[in-house]
Chains A and B, each alone.
Chain A
Amino acid sequence: DIQMTQSPSSLSASVGDRVTITCRASQSIRTYLNWYQHKPGEAPNLLICAASSLQAGVPSRFSGSGSGTDFTLTISSLQPEDFATYYCQQSYTTPRTFGPGTKVDIK
Chain B
Amino acid sequence: QVQLQESGPGLVKPSETLSLTCAVSGYSISSGYYWGWIRQSPGKGLEWIGSISYSGNTYYNPSLKSRVTISVDMSKNQFSLKLSSVTAADTAVYYCARHERVEYDSSGYDIWGQGTMVTVSS
Q: Are B45 and A91 in contact (CB under 8 A)?
A: no
0 or 1 for each of A67-106: is its CB under 8 Å from B? (1 = yes): 0000000000000000000010101111111111100000
Interface range on chain B (Cβ under 8 Å from partner): 20 to 34
Q: CA separation between A92 and B106, bound complex, in Å?
A: 8
Contact residues in A for B47 (Cβ distance below 8 Å): 98
CB closest residue in chain B, given A51 = B106
Query: With A43-B114, A97-B48 as given contacts, are A91 and B103 in contact (CB-CB < 8 Å)?
Result: yes
Q: How close is B39's CB to chain A, nearest CB, in angstroms?
A: 11
Q: Are A50 and B95 in contact (CB under 8 A)?
A: no
**Could you tell me which A residues sit within 8 Å of B by CB distance?**
1, 31-32, 34, 36, 38, 42-46, 49-50, 53, 55, 87, 89, 91-101
